[in-house]
A and B are shown apart, each in its own frame.
Chain A
């Protein structure tokens, strides 16, 4: 099964609200990445957090990582209609080459 599982599967919020998405994984990781996919497009990298980091910020994005719980969260603050997309977590496993495994994704809809 997928290494990463996002929760919720779908999320609908009003513009200006914050959106939180969670990702759980099963085995030890080297790093975890979040990607965004707009409808009909390829994935775009948002942020990477290493296994020895607990929190990272990039603009309106905040990512946390809890390796003891094998989980990560992505927070988008002050959401905009343009944030409407699917969001995927991707885990790079410890050891071996840089194979990343993508989760199932959270579909976010931001209503203007």
Chain B
């Protein structure tokens, strides 16, 4: 399996521009997570999908951020308009669903390094 795929790997944009990050989870995984990692705040969960449905978006910073999962093999995280403080590494992770429910390992993608100038 190719693992979790994220694109682009690097993104440099100017303040005010729209940014779209993409994620393809591991085939067969039912859960998908978007995280943001910065030196100041560490690794933060932004949103969690289960079976393509958003379950917890309490970590989404503000209305400028939105995430979608139109099908089991694709998700997007959009920032519009982007601001310099959004500069971070954004990770997508997926995990399978087992009968035990809460013990699944999360498999992380390589991340998208975003720089907003």
Which residues from chain A sit less than 8 Å from chain B, CB to CB? 2, 30-31, 33, 41-45, 48, 50, 88, 90, 92, 97-105
Q: Flag if B110 contacts A42 (CB, 8 Å).
A: yes
Q: Flag if B4 contacts A42 (CB, 8 Å).
A: yes
Which residues from chain B sit less than 8 Å from chain A, CB to CB? 4, 31, 35, 42-43, 45, 48, 50, 55-56, 91, 93, 95, 101-111
CB distance from B10 to the nearest CB of A (A): 11
15 A-B contact pairs sorted by A residue (CB < 8 Å): A30-B102, A31-B102, A33-B105, A42-B91, A42-B109, A43-B106, A43-B108, A48-B103, A97-B56, A98-B31, A98-B101, A99-B56, A102-B35, A102-B42, A104-B42
Chain A residues near B42: list those with CB within 8 A: 2, 102-105
CB distance from B97 to the nearest CB of A (A): 9
Task: Please report the C-alpha to C-alpha distance between residue A101 and residue B104 in the assembled complex, in whole angstroms.
Answer: 14
Q: Flag if A43 contacts B104 (CB, 8 Å).
A: no
Minimum CB distance partner of A50 in chain B: B103
CB distance from A107 to the nearest CB of B (A): 11
Q: Flag if A98 contacts B104 (CB, 8 Å).
A: yes
Q: Flag if B105 contacts A45 (CB, 8 Å).
A: yes
Q: A41-B110, A98-B103 are in contact. List 16 more A-B contacts (CB 8 A).
A: A2-B42, A33-B105, A42-B4, A42-B108, A42-B110, A43-B91, A43-B93, A43-B106, A44-B108, A45-B105, A90-B106, A97-B56, A98-B31, A98-B101, A102-B43, A103-B42
